[in-house]
Structure 1
Amino acid sequence: MLPFQCQLESLNHLGLVAGMCQELKIAEYIDARITNDADARNVTIGQAVVAMIINGLGFTGQTLYLFPEFFEDKPINRLIGEGIQAGHLNDKVLGRALDSLYDAGVSDLYLNLAVKVVNHLKLPCKALNLDGTSLHVDGDYNSNADPDDLNCIHICRGYSRDHRPDLNQVVLQLMTENEAGIPVFMAPASGNVNDNTCFQEIIKNHLSCFKAALNNRYLVADAAMYVAETLQSLDEQKQLFISRVPLNIKEAKALVGKVSTMSLESVKGYEQYYSAEVTSCYGEVQQRWFLFLNEKRRLSEQKTLTRTMQKKSLKEARNLEKLGKKAFLCRDDALKAFALWQKQSVLCLSETEPEIICKPCYSGKGRPSSESKPDHFEYYVQGTCFVPCETRENAQASLGCFILGTNDLDQDSLNAAELLSIYKSQQQVEGGFRFLKSPDFLVSSLYLEKAERIEALLMVMTLCLMVYAAIQHRIRHELKKQSRFFPDQKKKPYQNPTARWVFFCFQGINVLTVNNQEQHVVGLRERQLTIIQILGVSYISLYS
């Protein structure tokens, strides 16, 4: 009698990822829009993209050429499709898939899929949140490219949000819906562009598509969108917006300066938040400005204000002391240098008029005689400085304050509490960026040979975020709908688990294959079965 032959393959949480890819029909959507070449006999472009999503959400950060090793101990037939082996998912197949995504146009390809996903999940999409971030990459890209070529992004140095100005970077613009955080639009951009420019281009070229497909009411963004030209474009397209108003605008600065004399009302549902409403016509667009005061943040900022002002004022005083030791050839140069110090000083002011000290200089050695005449004179400027009390008072006045602007002039449809709630959904897109920048998420995959593949990989990374957010939304929605619970880290029942916590709880699930025929899923526990059952039949089949 022949001995049993057993094979153990790791399934863990990847069944949830594969199940969501199947539910959203990602592979079918991509294969319907991209023609597979004759060499793609084993793996289609859509299946290759799903493989990259599974790898990305496997939190291993594998490079493309290590994909076969990642899938070596995974049940590929369950996760991706019948007949696919780990060796089929090599760097050539995945590289060809990235090239095909780039040729198809990543932004438009992603947008059409995202619209289908939002409709499938029945999300109301009341507001869309727009933001951008930078991702640093290694390697020399676009070395022979035309800098005026608009067909491909240029990976170069620019303002780095990762605090890595020494590395080249690429910018990713994301737009998410405000309930589940599903990214509905992604646009790669060159590493040296700023958000103001990108936001204007997105609003100019893509806003009409969002309005027609998603029927969203508000477009939400940070202060980078609050530019006169952008606001005018939004108003012309009859798009309501909510944006943070930059405090360097003269009108906004004056409003914050009057906060101590204004009558502020408490914001319903937000403890320690107070607000006041004023009208504005910035950028020739009629708006309502809401000045908010966060008392809790105000108190915390006061603790650091003294330390910050003391550090800055001491630095300015030391600069004045250094200036007093510098020699000038004439009185006017010394006065000009003192005036420059005063202009550059933010906190310190001169207590009195500067004193100019003239010192004679002799060329000979030793002490000059009383009859010797100096060869030339050197001039030194001396002065004392102080920090006015009103400087600190002005700094304290703006603590904890911020302004939100909107062109929704209907006071019945949008009050201060609703406005603040919608704006706080901006955390969805910021959370998406934190997810994409996680050190164990596809971080090593940015070592690619071509900038075109970097652009396509950004789409794959955004698809990973879409699948992750969709899984999290479905789990939370079904737990509440079916009145079921999932244990948190303290083993207390709750209904809002993060997908990452659920993924962690799915460790230890394997597929046992006996004699290359019989398959059994082993390692399932009660809390895992709860998630599988509430998600539906397709997920049950993946874990059975």
Structure 2
Amino acid sequence: MSGPQKLSPPKARFILHSERLGPLPLVNHFIDRIGLASLFDRHVPSDARCAVPHAQALGVLPRSIIVEREPVYRQQETVHDFAGGMFGITSGQMDHLSDDRLGRALDHLFDADRAALLTEVALAVAERFGVNFDECHNDSTTISFHGSYRGASGRKIRGRTAPMITYGHSKSHRPDMKQLLFILTMTADGNIPVAFRCTDGNTSDSRTHIDTWNTLRTLAGRSDFLYVADSKLCSRENMDHIDRAGGRFVTVLPRNRLEDAEFRQWIQSNTPDWTCVWDRPNSRHSDGPRDCWYVFRAPLLSAEARPVVWVWSPLLTLRQEARRRRNIAAAIEELQQLRARLAGAKTRLRGAAEIDLQIKVMLEKHHVARYLKVRRTVREEHEYRQTRRGRPDPETAYRKITRRRFDTEWTTDEQAIAYDHNSDGMYPLVTNDRSLSPAQVLEAHKGQPMIEKRFEQVKTVHEIAPVFLKDEGRIEAFFTLYFLALLVQALIERELRLAMKRENLDELPLYPEQRQCARPTTEQILRLFSLAQRHRLIEGAHTVQVFDVPLTELQRQLLRLLGVPENAFRPPDSRRNSRQIGSPTCGM
């Protein structure tokens, strides 16, 4: 045999196989405590022919929303990035988890009795986590959609009415986009979401409160809990319904009510006997004025004979003053631009009606129609020309040519500004519970902004839109899973904060660079476990050694505070070997 021989490389004896865990063992612990898998099994059953039962397919999505936030069509590759069983399905079921399989599971969730499912979820949370329903906060937000959604007109889908994706009052300030209304209710005990409903995009908030309150009464098993909502609750129909059923409420009296105008007129020449109930350092500026809140019980009842409590915040007064100045300055700048446009050679605004409309839009945009008095005027421009052609001389005759152009003039109404300045930072609250002190009424209402934090979490952290779905039935079912993901995250926050309070821990080093955090969020907790991996050293078909997740001292402390056992990140051998070995990470 002549010539050099090519030697084959030696075959690797050992293979190191890595499996990603991330924060899923921690998330699964709370999902198991709720009993979500059994609830899905009972309300969304499937036959034995399904490679991935509906309940298990639906269980994948809340975990993905919390951890990965990938669209439905990427779920199969997402679950393959993690160790077997982390998403509640086996390694054999992973290959069958297509977007079509998830879509059919969403169809069955839409067909199911979701009201009964969510009721059982809320009752399980109340029983197993000790969440009480003494005080509940309600609000709604709009979810905007890209696309026409012509078929989403409130049609029947398999006998159930699907929500209508249509134009309405956009709380996201996108009137050009269709939307759905996302209604959320949470309990003040840890700001835990306990009720959810999705309805048509053009539904008025004032029409949703009776159904929401009836649902909460069923959950709480009583009617005397305190229901807190914004000014849309303040209608005679809503308040009378709650009052007749023995309920209690706190809401904001709208600005268009007569009681509001009467107080703002009375305060021009009188000084209320304010009582300071909150006095705290400024949370935004350490060298700024203190955050003080004052209350005053109005001497007159509302038109429905219910107590009215006025609230005043000096910091809110400063913010409203600054906002008024900014709005007036911005409106004047646009009026100056309009004036320059009218004086130009090509204004493209020839008619008086068109100019008046432009002025009206400017004033409404900046909310300054009360402070700026704008008047459309006619300005004359005179020009003199020779009556005859040629060089002018002392005998040349001239004729006068007059052109009329529209112009605008405006003045600032100082009296209106001074009138509103006297009541800046003040707003009224109304309640039917006469046993509540003004301080208690304010304290209940001050919990209302926390629901906005949940909406922010849904829209920014969870990225609820776009949903990459066309069927409005599947969209409504998908929103139900977003609610469940939000519930799990809120429970994790509540459990950690309660444990910190129980063990007298003021802060934990959860921020980057181990900076201290006084109010931990789920996002910060999950970030600490995002890189958790388990490794297996394999020789042939046998596992030689398993290298479990090396937990840091901070991670162990968090698991202990949350009540999650450390062996949640160290599954038994039967679970370790459930997933088939893929391509090696590296050879040895």
Change (3 A) 1:147 1:355: same
- Cross-structure match for 1:408: 433
| Counterpart mapping for 1:455-474 below 5 A | 455-474=476-495
Q: Of residues 294, 304, 309 in structure 1, which corresponds to 2:313?
A: 294
**Residue 455 of structure 1: how far off its partner (Å):** 0.3
For 1:312 and 1:228, the matched residues in 2 are separated by: 37
Aligned CA distance change for structure 1 residues 156 and 355 (closer, same or farther; 3 Å): closer
SS of residue matched to 1:268: strand
Question: In the alignment, which residue of structure 2 is the partner of 1:438?
Answer: 460
Letter of the structure 1 residue corresponding to residue 259 of structure 2: E
Equivalent pair of 1:16/1:471 in contact (CA under 8 Å)? no
TM-score of the two chains, using structure 1 as the length reference? 0.83
The CA deviation string for residues 487-529 of structure 1, in whole angstroms up to 9 with x for no partner, is 1326355563111111112232102133365543224211111
What is aligned with 1:133?
A: 141
Q: Name the SS for the 2:64 alignment partner.
A: helix
Instruction: Give the superposition deviation at 1:341.
Output: 8.8
Alignment-derived partner of residue 62 in structure 2: 53
2:17 pairs with 1:7: yes
The 10-residue stretch of structure 1 (230-239 or 171-180) with the greater mean CA deviation from structure 2: 230-239
- Assess, with a 3 A threshold, how the Cα gap between structure 1 residues 428 and 384 changes in structure 2: closer, same or farther: closer
Maintained 8 Å contact 1:76/1:85: no
Aligned equivalent of 1:477: 498
- Verify the 8 A CA contact 1:313 1:347 in the aligned structure 2: no
Q: Is 1:509 aligned to 2:532, yes or no?
A: yes
SS of the equivalent of 2:198 reads strand
Name the aligned partner's letter for residue 436 of structure 1. Answer: V
Whether contact under 8 Å (1:77, 1:84) holds in the other structure is no
Deviation at 1:424, TM superposition (A): 1.6
Secondary structure of the residue aligned to 1:135 is strand
Which residue matches 1:449? 470
> 2:152–2:164: 8 Å Cα contact kept in structure 1?
no
**1:29 is aligned to 2:39:** yes
Specify the code of the residue in structure 1 equivalent to 2:371: L
Task: Report the equivalent of 1:373.
Answer: none
* 2:213 pairs with 1:194: no
Match of 1:247 in 2: 255
C-alpha contact 1:175 1:185 (8 A) present in aligned 2: yes
- Distance in 1, matches of 2:300 and 2:480, equals 39
What is the DSSP-based 3-state SS (H/G/I as helix, E as strand, rest coil) of the residue aligned with 2:70?
coil
Answer with 530-539 or 115-124: which moved more. Answer: 530-539
- Equivalents in 2 of 1:122, 1:474: separation in Å? 10
The answer as to whether partners of 2:73 and 2:98 remain within 8 angstroms in 1 is: yes
Q: Which residues of 2 match residues 532-543 of structure 1 at below 5 A?
A: 532-536=559-563, 538=565, 540-543=567-570
Q: Pick one of 89, 103, 118 that aligns with 1:95.
A: 103
Tell me, what secondary structure is at the counterpart of 1:49?
helix
Deviation at 1:356, TM superposition (A): 9.7
Q: Contact 1:125 / 1:216 at 8 angstroms: preserved in 2?
A: no
Q: Pick from 154, 158, 165 the counterpart of residue 155 of structure 1.
A: 165
Paired with 1:146 and 1:80, the residues of 2 have a C-alpha distance of 34
Q: CA deviation at 1:465?
A: 0.2
Quick check: 1:170 aligned with 2:180?
Answer: yes
Maintained 8 Å contact 1:34/1:104: yes
CA separation in 2, counterparts of 1:75 and 1:357?
Answer: 78
Contact preservation (8 Å) 1:511, 1:519: yes
Give the greater-gyration-radius structure (CA): 2
Q: Hey, what's the Cα distance between the residues in 1 that align with 2:258 and 2:341?
A: 34
| Separation of aligned partners in 2, 1:441 and 1:350 | 43
- Deviation by residue 1:139-181 (Cα, 9 ceiling, x = unmatched): 4435275669971101122222223333222111000011212
Q: Distance in 1 between matches of 2:162 and 2:534?
A: 43
In the alignment, structure 1 segments of 5+ residues that lack a partner are: 326-332, 360-364, 368-376
Q: Which consecutive unaligned segments of at least 5 residues does structure 2 have? A: 1-10, 280-290, 345-350, 364-368, 389-401, 572-588
What residue is the counterpart of 2:298 in the other structure? 278
Q: Does residue 390 in structure 1 map to residue 412 in structure 2?
A: no
Please give the secondary structure, in 1, of the residue aligned with 2:460.
Answer: coil
- Compute the RMSD of aligned alpha carbons: 4.1
TM-score by length of 2: 0.77
Partner of 1:529: 556
| 1:173-226: CA deviation from partner (whole Å, max 9, x where unpaired) | 0000112121111110111222122224434x535424426x662101111211
Q: Partners of 1:389 and 1:40 in 2: how far apart?
A: 73
Which of the residues 277, 289, 306 maps onto 2:325? 306
Quote how far apart the aligned CAs of 1:89 are: 2.2
Q: Give 1:483 deviation, angstroms.
A: 4.5
Partners of 1:47 and 1:382 in 2: CA distance: 69
158-167 or 523-532, larger mean C-alpha shift: 158-167
Asked whether the equivalents of residues 66 and 462 of structure 2 are also in contact (C-alpha less than 8 Å), the reply is no
Counting matched residue pairs gives 525
Q: 1:236 aligns with which of 200, 222, 244?
A: 244
The structural deviation recorded for 1:311 is 4.1
Shift of 1:314: 6.8
Give 1:312 deviation, angstroms: 3.6
Match of 1:268 among 277, 283, 305: 277
Q: Could you say if the C-alpha distance between residues 244 and 6 of structure 1 is closer, same or farther in structure 2, counting changes exceeding 3 Å? A: same
Aligned pair partner of 2:123 in 97, 104, 115: 115
Q: What CA distance in whole angstroms lies between the structure 2 residues aligned with 1:267 and 1:76?
A: 58
| Mapped partners of 1:475, 1:385: distance in 2 | 58
Match of 2:441 in 1: 419
| Whole-angstrom distance in 2 between the partners of 1:355 and 1:151 | 55
Contact 2:459 2:465 in 1 (8 A): yes
Output the CA distance in 2 between the equivalents of 1:407 and 1:247.
19
Q: Give the superposition deviation at 1:80.
A: 1.4
Q: Percent identity over the alignment? A: 21
The answer to which of 22-31 and 309-318 deviates more is 309-318
Whether contact under 8 Å (2:313, 2:425) holds in the other structure is yes
